[in-house]
A and B are shown apart, each in its own frame.
Chain A
Amino acid sequence: DTEVTQTPKHLVMGMTNKKSLKCEQHMGHRAMYWYKQKAKKPPELMFVYSYEKLSINESVPSRFSPECPNSSLLNLHLHALQPEDSALYLCASSQPDRGIYNEQFFGPGTRLTVL
C-alpha cells in the first residue's frame, strides 16, 4: 500500500463548530506532516510529527490542534476557525533518515470551507 488517505474529502463548517481531519498511511513511514494550501499557492507546512512526537509547529494558531495517536494515523482537530482558514489541507508522510530527506507522499487533501 503506497497511499496516504484522508477523510473527509470536503468539509464545510461554521466558526463555532469543532471538527477533525483524519490521515492514514500504511507504508511504515515514521514522519507525518500537515500542510495548508491556498489556491494558486504552494503547500505551507503546519506541523511535523517524527516517531509520533511533534517535532515542528510552524507557529500555527491554537485553533488547529494536531494529534498522532499511532504511527499510522494523524489527526487535525479544528475549533473556532475563521473564514480565512478555508483551504486545502494536505497530509503527507515520509521515512525519516538522519540527515537524509526522502520522498514525501501526499494524501488527496481535505477541502475545508469555513462559513
Chain B
Amino acid sequence: GENVEQHPSTLSVQEGDSAVIKCTYSDSASNYFPWYKQELGKRPQLIIDIRSNVGEKKDQRIAVTLNKTAKHFSLHITETQPEDSAVYFCAAPRYSSASKIIFGSGTRLSIRP
C-alpha cells in the first residue's frame, strides 16, 4: 500500500554528536517531503522541508537529503543539543486516491548530556 516508513523508532545520541533519521515512501508521484518536530505536550512544528526538484536542503544544524530514485529521504541534525530532544515525524503526500500527507511512525530522539 501507499505509506511512509520511518527508522529508527528511538534514537539516543551524545550531546554534540549527529543524528540521522531515515524515511522511505512508496508513491512515486510524491514531490514534497516535510519534517515535523513534536515536543512533549506540544503541537507538531515544521522544521525543514524539501521539494523533489532538489537533492539537499540545509538550515543551520538541520539538513534534509532526498533520493528520488530510491524513494528515500533523511533528516540530519548536527551538533545536537538538549533542546533537540523530541519526536520527529517525516511525511509525504499521497496522490493515488486523494491528496493528503502521510506521516511516518515517528522517531523519539533523546540527547544524552
**Interface on A for B, CB 8 Å cutoff?**
40-45, 48, 55-56, 90, 100-101, 103-109
Which A residues are in CB contact (< 8 Å) with B99?
A: 56, 101
- Interface size bracket, B side: 10 to 19
A101 to B42, CA, bound (A): 23
Name 22 A/B residue pairs within 8 A (Cβ), A-sorted: A40-B106, A42-B89, A42-B104, A42-B106, A43-B44, A43-B89, A43-B103, A48-B100, A55-B98, A56-B98, A56-B100, A90-B43, A100-B31, A100-B32, A101-B31, A101-B93, A101-B99, A101-B101, A103-B34, A106-B44, A108-B42, A109-B43
For residue A44, give the distance in angstroms from its CB to the closest CB of chain B.
8
Contact A108 B43 (CB under 8 A): yes
CA distance A43 to B106 in the complex (A): 10
Q: In the complex, are the beta carbons of A106 and B101 less than 8 A apart? A: no
